[in-house]
Structure 1
Amino acid sequence: MKAQRGHAALLTSTALLLVGTLLLPGQAEAGPRRHREAALHGGTGQGDTGHGAMLPDPADLEPGDGARAAMSRLVAEPGSVLDAYAPTSGGGGGLWPDAGPGPMLAATGDALPTGSVSTGRAGAAGPVAPAAAPVASPAGPDPLAYGPASPDLPLLDATTLQHAIEAWVGPEPLRGLRSIPAAVADEKRFDARAAVRDFYAARGFAPLWIVDGGFDGAARSALARIDHAAEDGLDLRATPVTVPHGGDPAALATAELSLTEAVVDYARQASGGRVDPARIGPSVAVRPEVAGPAKVLAALRDAADAGEALRGFNPPHRGYLLLRAKLAEMRRGADMAERGPIPAGPALKPGMTDARVPLVRARFGLDIAAAGGDGLVYDTRVASAVADYQRAHGLPASGVLTARTVASLSGGQPKRLEDEIIANMERWRWLPRDLGARYVAVNIPDYSLDVFEGDRLVHHARVVVGKPDHETPVFSETMKFIIVNPYWNVPLSIVNKEMMPKLAANPNYFEDHGYEVVQRNGETYVRQPPGDSNALGRIKFMFPNKFSVYLHDTNARSYFGREDRALSHGCVRVDQPFKLAEAVLGRDRGWSEARVESMVGGAERTVNLPRPVQVHMNYFTAFVDETGQLRLRDDIYGYSAKVRAALGLVG
């Protein structure tokens, strides 16, 4: 825009110069030369008043044919006229070249006497010509009216944007009304908008997205990512973006704020702010680091690609990305799934062929092309997906496509599976973005434990988790040491609910079952000494937490053979515990499975980990396995149903 105004000003100046110059050739040949020489040398040629002023003859002001032609050319071809006065290559830094006469004199073809005027070079000066008397404007239209008109685009100035932001933020609400959900929501909304206001205030209320009356490249990149928010299971319908199409500054301010609000909302949802985990249950103790407005806007302001920076607020974890890809795959197959219910027919077992199989594949997002042929074979991959579905929906998990399974699948199941995937993607947002170089991940509904180095799986084991009325909590902590030959300090809740009634019936209950009663700081505790009958087994893995929950061996190893393993009081019992010890202590640090197991027997022994290991207690009822297949698990604590409800995915 500055360039446009500068171009117009240059045309204006050129027009005036040409008018002043080209009017002169319309006079008698002797007249103009005599007048110019008198002006340059201070002489008193014809018309000299004796005071150095020169009054032209009125007839001299009539424009000649040359002047009219030049003016017509200026209007029709302004660029070619300006080119005649452009600096030559190698010229100085000013508008005109350092050497040679000025443009007006060059246009007349008259050379100046040597040393009569300044050449324009730094430090070079000559006698200055006396000022000529003002010359009356020629009759007729203003020559500037013929210049090319280019009205400025509307600008979004700082004052207009500041007023719009202040109105958008509004007055501060009453605080302290924590028992009123609407009041709490008002507080959060005000605080978020106030943070946006502070961000803009720090930059002098300069627009972040609007340039020359429209969205700039960063804005368009961010808007493209917002348009694809559903790919990450996000819902931005509450923050629509107003795209500017010219308009006045107030309209541009509205567009600026609408995009700012949308990107802040996207990042808030993507980083875990859509569902408060505390609302799911008291045993869900994760607290995601939700991105605040200032962090979001600063990140996008400094990013080379604002859209990719915005996308980066989503989880980077492989498990999340696999679910995201599976969601897209299922949506691509939704057109087939929505053709109608799966027809009734005979029960299908692996190896059988049936025309309904492609419909079943579409329900689970299985690629028909990958099956080969026409996709009519009910193969083991389809049967496995059916078994997972049956298990998650209270049906016998046989993998056989029974009449009950067909009836269940025909009830809008693709949408239900999408919702379940989105609910699990949401729970990935609760995890730290950095899981650790080496970490332990327990998936409670899958009854499994995995040890990873980066994305590489180094150990897998079955686990037993808490009963539905004794949930294993969901949280992340740091494992710092292990204990071999551990004591079991019986939780007070177990003593009161389970042991005291037995003690009332048998005063020797503790002694008969090998428990010790100890006094510590005026408190009475019950503990079980190390040994084969110890409930913790021979080793436990410690990551101090407020739930007093940890990983440990068990003396009831038969439980690992069960399919449903929600059987403990909340702690996680681990199969193959000494292999886990090797994985977390590090074979490269000299800690083999055999070495750890050789420590069994005798007194309690503590081994500090050479390097701390992160432990993540997760709750995923849907995940993609190493073969790319979607796996479903029972919602044993009801957490997934609560997340779906909080996301508005129920109904």
Structure 2
Amino acid sequence: MRRRRLAESVSAAVLGLALGVATALAQGAGNEASTLGLPLPEAPALRILAGDATPPQLDIPAPPELVLDLRPSGSDSAPELAAPLEAGEIVTGAISTTPRRELEEPFLDIPAPELPPVDPALTAKPTPEAEPQLARPTEPLITPPTLPEVVVALPPGLELTGRIAERAEEALSVPRLAQRERADILAAYAANENRPFWIEGKGWSAAGKLLAAQLGRAGQDGLRPADYALPAFEASDKDRLAEADVRLSALAVLYARDARGGRIDPRRLSKMLTPELDLPSATEVLSELAGAADPGLVLAAYNPQHDGYRRLKAKLATLRTDKEEVPSVRIPAGPPLRLGMRDQRVPLVRARLGLGASEEPVFDRSTATALAEFQKQAGLRADGVLSNQTLAALGSPPATRLESDIVAQMERWRWLPADLGASHVTVNVPEFRMRMVHDGKLVHETRVIVGKPETATPIFSHKMEYVVVNPSWHVPPSILKKEFLPGLANDPNYAAKRGYVVTRRGNSISVRQPPGERNALGWVKFMFPNDHAVYLHDTPNRRLFASNRRAFSHGCVRVENPFALADLVLGPEWTNERLKRLIGSGERTIRLPKPLAIHLVYDTLVVNEAGEITTFDDLYGFHRLVRNALEQRS
């Protein structure tokens, strides 16, 4: 019994294995046949003989069968085991594939698996000349459908990205464009994946044309069009297209910075010219231009938008349109000519001014009047005197000289903030005049005294923060060094005799003038702390306001009616009467309701709404410095 159970177990295991193999073969054959379209071979029947037991016989029609014989070779019955099987022992036998015959041994017939019918359309038809082959056909059995044509459109400008990356450095070699701006432009292109900003197809895009057109109009704003000349390029030359795109960006950045006053550095002209220029970065310029519907208008807006600047611009256009031919006359140098003087140059002067000949070479009234009119148009002091400056102006056409003067004045407008403030105070130093604007309207105007030529009033913008009533005056270091120290060296009581208090701290000396009638600051001062230590203030010496040329201070600005100004800047809470009641009661600081913009400007040419030019003396020579700097750059 033990041996029989062992044999039955082995038989069952082998039977399971055989069933698995047969099924896999059947499925594989079916799949292959389905693929190749070949008739399936008949599967052999499986017969298993295990010992001398006679199992029930299943009649399964099948072709020659596979007989699995577990008996030893040459034996008709199960062998007798000499000893019980141990764990790990293997019982071996022989597999017979002989055709089915009548045997007394037990057997198991397994029917062949049923396969699905093969679609005739997928069956490869063998040719008559050749027998069916089991290899997979090389040609596809099913004709693939016709696929639509795929067109890949590259993003605009993608074909220039590589060239822009290669040519950008060379395209950015623009004079006066700093390395920082060049780096910012490269970064802007990198952020745009080196795609062009202004090139579309084989030329400028609509935005690029608008931007290029504005660069071409640079002369209308007193700038040099040659500084922003665009490169020529062939539409088929992609390298030049890439360079042109980057160069246009660079020129636009340069234009924007020049429009804000970047052409010259005022501080290099004079230490008294210290405006804070608002120069835009390349990143700011390109971000604004690239996102604008009309980048030309955006670029033009970097020029000053103030009325004074616009009137100068309109006058410049008129002068260039109405240029007249003037006689070419060379007038020799000589001493200044005034009314009534005789000189052999008088006929030449009259010819240059378009006057008729005179019987005597006398500098008469008609000559002086015509010369004064010429001086006015040329932006010079209209005194009718043939000075060296006037003689130099006569050497060039009047319009040309006046053009350069207007351009220089336009340049100084670029030093001012883009927003002057709805309420602000302006002091025009060459005019000796102060104006206050409140909510866009002129509400106060008065005369002022400014610094002497050797102690010039500085030019800059700031914020007025507070007002001091009954101020003390601390003598600034420059005056202390030039006046008080030499006086104290000669007389220890030099300061005390003049009402000043001297304080010594070690080796340092400070001098202060207490509040009072004789105080140099008067009764009130207007403070906007700055590096020059200047401010607006009252003065005890009011008779100086009667002078036409009021340049008497050490740099500060003296106001003719300071209490009227204080009434305006401090608001309705501090009336003129209330402030005056504080006089003599000790120093008092009053803060403004909010800081007030103040601009110390240097306007030597002013154009009114009617287009008429008013000129003021170049008190400190700042106008000449700016004009010469621009001409040298040209």
Q: TM-score range by the shorter chain?
A: 0.5 to 0.7
Find out whether 1:469 has 2:458 as its counterpart: no
After TM superposition, the structure 1 = structure 2 runs for residues 117-156 of structure 1, keeping only pairs within 5 Å, are: 131-132=142-143, 156=159
* Corresponding residue to 1:622 among 601, 605, 615: 605
Partner of residue 596, structure 2: 613
Q: Secondary structure at the match of 1:445?
A: helix
Alpha-carbon offset, residue 153 of structure 1: 11
Distance in 1 between residues matched to 2:558 and 2:488, nearest whole Å: 26
Partner of residue 16, structure 1: none
Partner of residue 187, structure 2: 198
After TM superposition, the structure 1 = structure 2 runs for residues 151-550 of structure 1, keeping only pairs within 5 Å, are: 156-168=159-171, 189-242=178-231, 244-334=233-323, 336=324, 338-340=325-327, 388=376, 393=380, 396=383, 411-519=396-504, 523-550=508-535
Distance in 2 between residues matched to 1:52 and 1:579, nearest whole Å: 115
- Is the alpha carbon distance of 1:219 and 1:596 closer, same or farther for their aligned partners in structure 2, counting shifts above 3 Å? same
Partner of residue 616, structure 2: 633
Alpha-carbon offset, residue 454 of structure 1: 4.8
Partner of residue 644, structure 1: 627
Partner of residue 5, structure 1: none
Q: Secondary structure at the match of 1:599?
A: coil
Q: Secondary structure at the match of 1:288?
A: coil
- Is the alpha carbon distance of 1:525 and 1:407 closer, same or farther for their aligned partners in structure 2, counting shifts above 3 Å? closer
- Is the alpha carbon distance of 1:213 and 1:596 closer, same or farther for their aligned partners in structure 2, counting shifts above 3 Å? same
Q: Which amino acid aligns with 1:485?
A: N
Distance in 2 between residues matched to 1:299 and 1:650, nearest whole Å: 28
Q: Decide which structure has the larger Cα Rg and report it.
A: 2
Tell which deviates more after alignment, 307-316 or 259-268: 259-268
Is the Cα contact below 8 Å between 1:395 and 1:405 reproduced in 2? no
Distance in 1 between residues matched to 2:329 and 2:561, nearest whole Å: 44
Is the Cα contact below 8 Å between 1:153 and 1:246 reproduced in 2? no
Is the Cα contact below 8 Å between 1:441 and 1:618 reproduced in 2? yes
Normalising by the residue count of structure 1, what TM-score does the alignment of the two structures yield?
0.64
Distance in 1 between residues matched to 2:480 and 2:157, nearest whole Å: 76
Identity percentage of aligned residues: 38
Alpha-carbon offset, residue 295 of structure 1: 1.2
Tell which deviates more after alignment, 526-535 or 516-525: 516-525
Distance in 1 between residues matched to 2:533 and 2:491, nearest whole Å: 29
After TM superposition, the structure 1 = structure 2 runs for residues 13-24 of structure 1, keeping only pairs within 5 Å, are: none
Distance in 1 between residues matched to 2:508 and 2:616, nearest whole Å: 42
Alpha-carbon offset, residue 199 of structure 1: 0.8
What whole-Å deviation, never above 9, does each CA across 1:460-479 have from its counterpart, x for those lacking one? Answer: 11111111111111111111
Partner of residue 601, structure 1: 584
Q: Which amino acid aligns with 1:160?
A: R
Q: Which amino acid aligns with 1:577?
A: P
Distance in 1 between residues matched to 2:486 and 2:598, nearest whole Å: 36
Alpha-carbon offset, residue 636 of structure 1: 1.5
Distance in 2 between residues matched to 1:443 and 1:459, nearest whole Å: 14
- Is the alpha carbon distance of 1:271 and 1:393 closer, same or farther for their aligned partners in structure 2, counting shifts above 3 Å? closer
Distance in 1 between residues matched to 2:298 and 2:144, nearest whole Å: 64
Is the Cα contact below 8 Å between 1:154 and 1:249 reproduced in 2? no
Q: Which amino acid aligns with 1:605?
A: R
User: Structure 1: any 5+ residue segments left out of the alignment?
Assistant: 1-41, 54-129, 136-143, 145-151, 171-184, 348-356, 362-377
Greater per-residue helix proportion = 1
Alpha-carbon offset, residue 134 of structure 1: 11
Alpha-carbon offset, residue 256 of structure 1: 1.2
Find out whether 1:585 has 2:570 as its counterpart: yes
Is the Cα contact below 8 Å between 2:217 and 2:225 reproduced in 1? no
Distance in 1 between residues matched to 2:238 and 2:184, nearest whole Å: 23
Alpha-carbon offset, residue 360 of structure 1: 8.6
What whole-Å deviation, never above 9, does each CA across 1:387-435 have from its counterpart, x for those lacking one? Answer: 7458x6456269xx99x97995574221111111111111111111122
- Is the alpha carbon distance of 1:52 and 1:319 closer, same or farther for their aligned partners in structure 2, counting shifts above 3 Å? farther
Is the Cα contact below 8 Å between 2:501 and 2:512 reproduced in 1? yes
Alpha-carbon offset, residue 526 of structure 1: 1.1
Is the Cα contact below 8 Å between 2:228 and 2:255 reproduced in 1? no
Q: Secondary structure at the match of 1:463?
A: strand
Alpha-carbon RMSD across the aligned residues, in angstroms, is 3.9
Distance in 1 between residues matched to 2:473 and 2:492, nearest whole Å: 21
- Is the alpha carbon distance of 1:409 and 1:457 closer, same or farther for their aligned partners in structure 2, counting shifts above 3 Å? farther
Aligned length: 466
Q: Secondary structure at the match of 1:620?
A: coil
- Is the alpha carbon distance of 1:156 and 1:242 closer, same or farther for their aligned partners in structure 2, counting shifts above 3 Å? farther
- Is the alpha carbon distance of 1:476 and 1:153 closer, same or farther for their aligned partners in structure 2, counting shifts above 3 Å? closer
- Is the alpha carbon distance of 1:596 and 1:409 closer, same or farther for their aligned partners in structure 2, counting shifts above 3 Å? farther
Distance in 2 between residues matched to 1:325 and 1:513, nearest whole Å: 54
Distance in 2 between residues matched to 1:325 and 1:569, nearest whole Å: 37
User: Structure 2: any 5+ residue segments left out of the alignment?
Assistant: 1-118, 127-140, 150-154, 332-338, 340-349, 355-365
Alpha-carbon offset, residue 520 of structure 1: 6.3
Distance in 1 between residues matched to 2:255 and 2:156, nearest whole Å: 30
- Is the alpha carbon distance of 1:158 and 1:503 closer, same or farther for their aligned partners in structure 2, counting shifts above 3 Å? same
